[in-house]
Amino acid sequence: MPSVHHICRLATVEDIRKSEPLWGQDRPLFDSDVWARMPDLLENLLQNELVRLAYIEALPKHEPRMLGGISFIHPEYLDEARAKGSTLPNTVFRAALEHRMPFLSPKKIGRVNAQCELHLMNFFGNFNDLDLTQSEMTNFYEVSNHGYHFFHFGYAYRAFWAEVLPAHHVRELQNQGLQIERKLALRAGQTSTLMCLTREVARTNPYLRRSGYFFPPEPRFQFSLGEQNLLELSMLDIADDSIAARLHVSMDAIKKRWRSIYMKVDLVDAGLVAGKGSGTEQRRALLSYLRMHLEEIRPYSHVKILHTTDQQRDPLGSC
């Protein structure tokens, strides 16, 4: 029997319903009318690039093991959740159903990212207690941690937010540096826990597990959103023809994006890929660099900020 191993990738629309028994564990966090529309809403949000979903599956049988979501939200919905005594995910997804646009678009993310003011809301990402004496679960834990880093690092956050139910999720997030913001008794008799890690706490506690996520370097190459999409999918080992189909563009458009990417890289760092031999070797060198510099594939709209002469640059980042 083949050994079980896991991979983490971007979720597709088809993965949403396939993994519903996993993310369905969060049902108590939502009002019944919001939950009834959740699958269709998730598909719509994913197709419009308002949320990002990471999917972990076990191979060789392609069994779903986790679906986790990240999104960037307008901070006023935090106040609304507190005022109404509702969970944060329920407040945000209800607002989306009411067409109030709680999520930031990729272009808006770029502007807010440059200002270091992003509010991240994690949602779903359920898994049971881990027994790391089992090699399969050890591999799942390793893959989930690598996946978390890949999908989270490179943004300049103001705060991480997550609302969870199981006690082991609370302990996990506390180990990552998040603090309990509020506990809320639910109608089903359960208790939800809203947790948060802010930029200020990360600055004063740099050794917390997730503190380093708040202070990425500024990107150097100024890739476009389309180029960033291409690079991210390539870093996930997706071939160009499959990327073209996924992005609904032609192969000629993919080749044009690659030419533009290499031109921008050469203008900033001529030695990064030049002289690496074949095109395959050049791409391998570029993708290897980007895996260590994920800020390059995050939306970022450069803004000019006037500094007085006596201001010092933040030693932990540009903000």
Query: Can you spell out the DSSP letters for the chain?
Result: -PPPEEEEEEPPHHHHHHTHHHHGGGGGGS-HHHHHTHHHHHHHHHHTTSSEEEEEEEETTTEEEEEEEEEEB-THHHHHHHHHT--HHHHHHHHHHTT---BPPHHHHHHHHHTT-EEEEEEE---PPP-TTSHHHHHHHHHHHHHHHHHHTT--EEEEEEEE-SHHHHHHHHHTT-EEEEEEE-TTS-EEEEEEEEHHHHHH-TTSTTGGGG-PPPPSS---HHHHHHHHHHHTT--HHHHHHHHT--HHHHHHHHHHHHHHHHHH-TTTTTTS-SHHHHHHHHHHHHHT-GGGGS----------TT----TTS--
Per-residue pLDDT, 274: 81
State residue 313's pLDDT score: 37
Q: What are the tens digits of pLDDT across the range 198-249?
A: 999 999 999 999 999 999 999 999 999 999 999 999 999 999 999 999 999 9
pLDDT for the residue 267 = 95
Q: Which CATH architecture has domain 225-297?
A: Orthogonal Bundle (1.10)
Range 5-214 has CATH code 1.10.10.10: no
In the predicted structure, residue 2 carries a pLDDT above the cut 80: no
List pLDDT tens digits, range 41-78. Answer: 999 999 999 999 999 999 999 999 999 999 999 999 99
Calculate mean pLDDT across residues 10-14: 95
pLDDT at site 310: 36
Predicted model pTM: 0.90
Q: Who has greater pLDDT, 270 or 131? A: 270
Mean pLDDT throughout 23-45?
96
pLDDT at residue 311, as a whole number: 37
pLDDT higher than threshold 90 for residue 136? no
Domain assignments of the chain as residue spans, ordered by start:
5-214, 225-297
pLDDT at residue number 312:
40
Average pLDDT, the chain: 92
pLDDT score, position 303: 62
